[in-house]
Amino acid sequence: MKKSTLFDIISPVMAGPSSSHTAGAVRLGLLARNIYKKNPKKVVFKLYNSYAHTGKGHGTDKGLLAGILGLRVDDRRIKNIFDADIAKNIEYRFEYYDNFRRHPNAVDIELYGDYDMKICGDSVGAGEILITKINDFNVSLSGNYNTLILVYKDKPGVISSVTSHLQYANINIASLSCDRSAKGQDASMIICIDGNLKEDIVQNIEKMDDIYFVTYVEKLEN
Amino acid sequence: MDINISTFEQLHNVCISTNKPIYEIAQEVMATSEDISVNEVRSFALRSLFAMKEAINSGMRSDELSMSGMCGDDCAKLQKRFEKEHSMFGRLFENILEYALATSEENIRMGTIVACPTAGSCGILPAALIAVSREYGYSEEEQINALITAGEIGRIISIKVALAGAVAGCQAECGTASAMAAAAVCQLRGGNVRQILNASALALKNLLGLTCDPVAGLVEVPCVKRNPFLAVHSVTAVELALSGVESKIPIDEVIDSMAQTGALMSPMLKESSQAGLATTKTGLKIKDHVFGEK
């Protein structure tokens, strides 16, 4: 677990009123945007529990949409995002649910466009967030690191083949976690790295055998 | 400086042995751990300081209500009165109250603020730091020193207590902010390491047990008005500490006590709005009014 730094205590500069319900919402939207990689045509936000109950008073809905549109937590347009020009070309809807199995501040973001994607996440406090699911795969993305996400066939040697590509590029791995649906079936790998990964490395990994899906998600600025 | 400081006792000892103030140690440790220069650390602090001043300026010019309609026009009321009739404690006191309310109200109308350490407590440190700096003409460099000092206080508190109302109540949010503000002002006024840590301990000690019971679950009642109260509270701690008054309980132990108190506090009083002010007759009536048509 990462400890707070001096910077964490005297920041972020953010649109109020709540780090979890406003800044956290913007960051969830932003990270979802980084994962989806394109401008979606339509977005459905499903808000759960406290996000559903007090979200309106905290601008949670505005924050989520602003994040999807690429605005940072301190952007002055967040407050009036529903009337802003950049929100004119996107269709969006908010739905509200109670579900005790979900985190108090949980949201599902369904993105529709060139392709469809469902991203689930929680706002875990002090503006920190966690993306917990992308489509059917469980993940754990905080947005604090540049991250490589892979879906691959569970078999010996895949992990070391992937990490050797990173070693070749002189990239340090901050953390690595794997999960699989069953032995020899689909597996997922999440690699948080220090520094930046060049596009050609991602492409090389994509060309490997037994790799079904690769995406590189850039960390959030603040 | 490549060391890991996790208690105030350690911080105190490093300051004494190196003969350096808290901010110098803090900025050197931060620079080393993030692999950046001390100047970059100070630039980061300056950006926050600038945003704090912007929030005060915007807040002082507005009387727009929040989305719930509960808060937003109190700073305007103060300014209007102080134009005609000065406060009993003079201009500095007026500025502290106004700046704290301006920032807090800017927060609840979705304006831009600095979460320091949290959004709900965002008015406390800037009000004390900036009002005192303007009163005595402290330079920008001195203000950055004060802000970094405050940040280090908050950082060390956060190692033992999560700075979230949902985890440890308002003592962890506004209490920490007040301890940070006391440290900042004590640094500005020329306090030494011991006096700064005493100022923080005194401020924190007086806020132990503070619950988080916001009406309708919003960061408005009682949060907004708590900010000016605690900005003044911080200055009280500084005056005591600069006079040589010491906290009988050392700050590290005060924080242990805050962690314990937070753990023992009922979840109903920790940001869940299930008790306290939130469930008073009027509190519930306001909630119905705000979220009635969903």
Domain for residue A5, yes or no? no
Q: What is the pLDDT of residue B1?
A: 83
B66 interface with A at CB cutoff 8 Å: yes
Distance CA B184, CA B191 (A): 10
Domain for residue A208, yes or no? yes
Distance CA A211, CA B190 (A): 62
Angle between helices B176-188 and B193-205 (to 10 degrees): 150
Distance CA A170, CA A164 (A): 9
H, E, C per residue of chain A: CCCCCHHHHCCCEEECCCHHHHHHHHHHHHHHHHHHCCCCCEEEEEEEHHHHHHHHHHCHHHHHHHHHCCCCCCCCCHHHHHHCHHHCCCEEEEEEECCCCCCCEEEEEEEECCCCEEEEEEEEECCEEEEEEECCEEEEECCCCEEEEEEEECCCCHHHHHHHHHHHCCCCEEEEEEEECCCCCEEEEEEEECCCCCHHHHHHHHHCCCEEEEEEECCCCC
What chain A residue is nearest to B215 in terms of C-alpha separation? A54
- In single-letter form, the type of residue at position B98 comes to E
What chain A residue is nearest to B23 in terms of C-alpha separation? A6
SS3 state of residue B114: strand
Query: Any idea where the domains of chain B sit in the sequence?
Result: 8-291
Cβ(B187)–Cβ(B23) below 8 Å:
yes
What percent of chain B clears pLDDT 90, i.e. is strictly above it? 92
Residue A77, pLDDT above cutoff 80: yes
Domain co-membership, A152 together with A127 = no
CB contact under 8 A, A12 and B115: yes
Domain boundary among A117, A141, A165: A141
Summarize pLDDT for B203-220 with one digit per residue, the tens.
999 999 999 999 999 999
The complex scores an ipTM of: 0.95
Q: What is the CA radius of gyration of chain B?
A: 19
- In single-letter form, the type of residue at position B128 comes to A
Domain co-membership, A130 together with A181 = no
CB contact under 8 A, B119 and A50: no
CB contact under 8 A, B115 and A78: no
Q: Which of A1, A3, A10 to mutate to test the interface with B (most CBs of B within 10 A)?
A: A10
Q: How far is B86 from chain A (nearest CA, A)?
A: 31
Q: How far is A163 from chain B (nearest CA, A)?
A: 25
A2 interface with B at CB cutoff 8 Å: no
Domain for residue A222, yes or no? no
Domain co-membership, A91 together with A112 = yes
Domain co-membership, A70 together with A122 = yes
The neighbour count for residue B234, using CB atoms within 10 Å, is: 30
Average pLDDT over residues A180-203: 91
Domain that holds residue A153: 146-217
- Residues β-bridged to residue A110: A44, A118
B134 interface with A at CB cutoff 8 Å: no
Residue A217: φ, ψ to 5° = -110, 120
- Any idea what the Cα angle at residue B185 is, between residues B34 and B104, rounded to 5°? 80
B91 interface with A at CB cutoff 8 Å: no
Q: How far is CA B73 from CA A43, B69, B211, B222, in A?
A: 36, 10, 25, 15
Q: What is the pLDDT of residue B86?
A: 96
H, E, C per residue of B45-82: HHHHHHHHHHHHHHHHCCCCCCCCCCCCCHHHHHHHHH
Q: How far is CA A85 from CA A27, A58, A82, A88, in A?
A: 20, 22, 9, 5
Return the C-alpha torsion angle A23, A11, B115, B67, nearest 10: -40
Domain co-membership, A122 together with A163 = no
- B11 vs A contacts (CB less than 8 Å): none
Contacts of A80 by beta carbon, 8 Å cutoff, 6+ apart: none
Domain co-membership, A110 together with A164 = no
What chain A residue is nearest to B34 in terms of C-alpha separation? A5
Q: What is the pLDDT of residue A1?
A: 46
CB contact under 8 A, A22 and B110: yes
- B46 vs A contacts (CB less than 8 Å): none
Of B51, B155, B290, the CB nearest to A13: B51
Q: What is the pLDDT of residue B294?
A: 46
Domain for residue A2, yes or no? no
Distance CA B25, CA B8 (A): 12
Domain co-membership, A120 together with A169 = no
Residue contacts between A and B (CB atoms, under 8 Å):
141
A165 interface with B at CB cutoff 8 Å: no
The neighbour count for residue A96, using CB atoms within 10 Å, is: 16
Average pLDDT over residues B83-98: 97
Interface of B with A in 164-203 (CB under 8 A): 164, 166-167, 180
CATH number at residue A76: 3.30.1330.90
Summarize pLDDT for A150-191 with one digit per residue, the tens.
989 999 999 999 999 999 999 999 999 998 888 999 899 999
- Tokens 């701690």, residue located: B237
SS3 state of residue B85: coil
Residue A219, pLDDT above cutoff 90: yes
Q: What is the pLDDT of residue B236?
A: 98
Domain boundary among A141, A173, A194: A141
Q: What is the pLDDT of residue B208?
A: 98
Of B68, B164, B291, the CB nearest to A126: B164
Distance CA B271, CA B163 (A): 12
- In single-letter form, the type of residue at position A179 comes to D
Domain for residue A3, yes or no? no
Residue B42, pLDDT above cutoff 80: yes
Of B34, B109, B112, the CB nearest to A14: B112
Q: Closest by alpha carbon to B214, among B138, B279, B282?
A: B279
Element (H, E) at B113: strand B112-114
Average pLDDT over residues B32-43: 95
A195 interface with B at CB cutoff 8 Å: no
CB contact under 8 A, B218 and A96: no
- A17 vs B contacts (CB less than 8 Å): 66, 107-110, 119-120, 218-220
Domain co-membership, A173 together with A199 = yes
- Tokens 């203000």, residue located: B143
Q: Which of B29, B35, B54, B219 to mutate to test the interface with A (most CBs of A within 10 A)?
A: B219
What percent of chain A clears pLDDT 70, i.e. is strictly above it? 99
Summarize pLDDT for A136-151 with one digit per residue, the tens.
888 889 999 999 999 8
Contacts of B8 by beta carbon, 8 Å cutoff, 6+ apart: B156, B197, B250, B251, B252, B255
Domain boundary among A141, A164, A199: A141
Domain co-membership, A104 together with A170 = no
Domain co-membership, A18 together with A116 = yes
- B45 vs A contacts (CB less than 8 Å): 10
CA atoms within 13 A on the CB side of A15: 28
Domain co-membership, A128 together with A22 = yes
CA atoms within 13 A on the CB side of B19: 0
- B183 vs A contacts (CB less than 8 Å): none
Cβ(A77)–Cβ(A71) below 8 Å:
yes
CB contact under 8 A, B110 and A78: yes
Structural domain total, chain A: 2
Domain co-membership, A106 together with A155 = no
Q: Does domain B8-291 have CATH number 1.10.4100?
A: yes
CB contact under 8 A, B68 and A23: no
Summarize pLDDT for B94-136 with one digit per residue, the tens.
999 999 999 999 999 999 999 999 999 999 999 999 999 999 9
B114 interface with A at CB cutoff 8 Å: yes
CA atoms within 13 A on the CB side of B262: 26
